[in-house]
Amino acid sequence: MKVVIAAAGTGGHINPGIAIANKIMAEEPNSEIIFIGTGRGLENDLVPRAGYELKKIDAYGINRKINIDNIKRLYKTIKAIGQAKKILQEFKPDIVIGTGGYICVAVGQAANKLNIPIVLHESNAFPGVAVKLLSNKATEIFVGFKEAKDRLPKAKKVVVTGTPSKITNKRLSEEEKKEKKKEMGLRLDIPTVLTFGGSQGARSINEALLGIIENKLNDRYQIVWAAGKENFENIKNELANKKIDINSTNNTKIVPYIYNMQEIMEVADLIVSRSGAMTITEISELGKPAIFIPFPFATENHQEYNAKVLENVNAARIILDKDLNYSKLNDTINEIIKDNRSLENMGNNAYKVAKLNAEEKIYKEILKVIKKS
């Protein structure tokens, strides 16, 4: 199988593409797969690190404002269709897979001109502009949430597959969870709240957490806070200015980054985070209750739509960024953790939303498309 995957920009677009590529290679080791991206996004790190070749074109996202800069971007993106067409003509793929983002428009248009079948994957509950633009040209569109299906009226075929994630089927036992907590220096007698931001920032969440810590409000729960490598030193200094040592905060463990995220999510009783599609996917697969603070500047406000997928089944609460402060966050946490049965029910409701084995479903659909073409 010869495959081109168009993925650029953020991890939310690139990681599903890599997961699909890995599945294809696992099933058909003789396959040839290349990625098409730009010279600017995370694909320049993630794709080569995953062992795949990255071809680059000069495509850009276009906003609705009419100005010189936008006209230049539009010109470059139109030119990028020709660049993509040349790559496809040389590589001769059986199929082109787009996983969202502006790169899909140029590559998808080029594939359409060459009569190469196109399939798209949309992680978010509210489909992005690129997927909408290509929806009538794609042979199939795979979506992470069923809510996205009704928002693609021009699509020929939409299949709810879920979104490929890094969550494995291996789970910690209750005894292993206790050992992990002891290893991390966490208490066993109060709930654990895991909080982390997203790739696009979480300043408001950070400020709310600092307020909780400064006022020592988390007596009934403990916080594990992945602050981010860039934010960690700033937070450390802010706490120091308030005479608080980052290593001896009240019921709080602050770390720059969590590498074993699945294990820590399993240990947590409640998760506080942004609501990117990958985060929603992982939380639902692990069956965890959550408090979401959607990133307010996400395109088409898609993070709020994502969060509502779990809120609508009573698996999560939403606090809008504009309404967030330390008092509201603390009150919401306390309200949720006061009842163990409620916590358990919310987690069970989250798991019901999960779409498992997304890679397997997508792979089988890809085979069907190639066979028909």
- Could you give the CA distance from residue 175 to residue 194 in angstroms, rounded to a whole number? 19
Residue 95, domain member (yes or no)? yes
Mean pLDDT of 280-301: 94
Task: Looking at the structure, tell me whether residues 133 and 215 fall in a common domain.
Answer: no
Task: Looking at the structure, tell me whether residues 214 and 323 fall in a common domain.
Answer: yes
pLDDT tens digits, 329-359: 999 999 999 999 999 999 999 999 999 999 9
pLDDT tens digits, 273-289: 999 999 999 999 999 99
Residue 169, domain member (yes or no)? no
pLDDT of residue 115 exceeding 80: yes
Task: Looking at the structure, tell me whether residues 156 and 61 fall in a common domain.
Answer: yes
Mean pLDDT of 311-334: 98
CATH number at residue 149: 3.40.50.2000
Task: Looking at the structure, tell me whether residues 187 and 244 fall in a common domain.
Answer: yes
Task: Looking at the structure, tell me whether residues 316 and 181 fall in a common domain.
Answer: yes
Sign of the CA dihedral with 225 first, then 230, 231, and 234 last: positive
The number of domains in the chain is 2
pLDDT tens digits, 178-221: 999 999 999 999 999 999 986 445 889 999 999 999 999 999 99
Task: Looking at the structure, tell me whether residues 360 and 231 fall in a common domain.
Answer: no
Nearest to 273, CA basis, from 292, 253, 297, 296? 292
CB 277 within 8 A of CB 144: yes
Task: Looking at the structure, tell me whether residues 346 and 368 fall in a common domain.
Answer: no
- Could you give the CA distance from residue 287 to residue 270 in angstroms, rounded to a whole number? 10
Task: Looking at the structure, tell me whether residues 181 and 136 fall in a common domain.
Answer: no
Task: Looking at the structure, tell me whether residues 230 and 326 fall in a common domain.
Answer: yes
> What is the side-by-side strand order in the sheet with 2-6?
53-56, 32-37, 2-6, 95-98, 118-122, 140-143, 158-160
> pLDDT band at 65, cuts 50/70/90?
low
Percent of all residues in the chain with a pLDDT value above 90, rounded to a whole number: 81
Residue 62, domain member (yes or no)? yes
- Could you give the CA distance from residue 44 to residue 55 in angstroms, rounded to a whole number? 10
* Cα separation values, 325 from 197, 203, 251, Å: 15, 11, 19
pLDDT tens digits, 8-64: 988 889 999 999 999 999 999 999 999 999 998 889 999 999 999 999 999 876 565
pLDDT of residue 73 exceeding 70: no
pLDDT of residue 61: 66
Residue 276, domain member (yes or no)? yes
Residue 216, domain member (yes or no)? yes
> pLDDT band at 78, cuts 50/70/90?
confident
pLDDT of residue 174 exceeding 90: yes
Domain residue limits at 201: 174-353
CB 210 within 8 A of CB 241: no
Task: Give this prediction's pTM.
Answer: 0.89
Task: Looking at the structure, tell me whether residues 252 and 145 fall in a common domain.
Answer: no
Residue 328, domain member (yes or no)? yes
pLDDT of residue 117 exceeding 70: yes
Task: Looking at the structure, tell me whether residues 29 and 130 fall in a common domain.
Answer: yes
Residue 168, domain member (yes or no)? no
pLDDT of residue 149 exceeding 90: yes
pLDDT of residue 326 exceeding 60: yes
Task: Looking at the structure, tell me whether residues 62 and 155 fall in a common domain.
Answer: yes
**Mean pLDDT of all residues belonging to the chain:** 93
Alpha helices in 92-196 (DSSP H): 103-113, 129-134, 174-184
Residue 229, domain member (yes or no)? yes
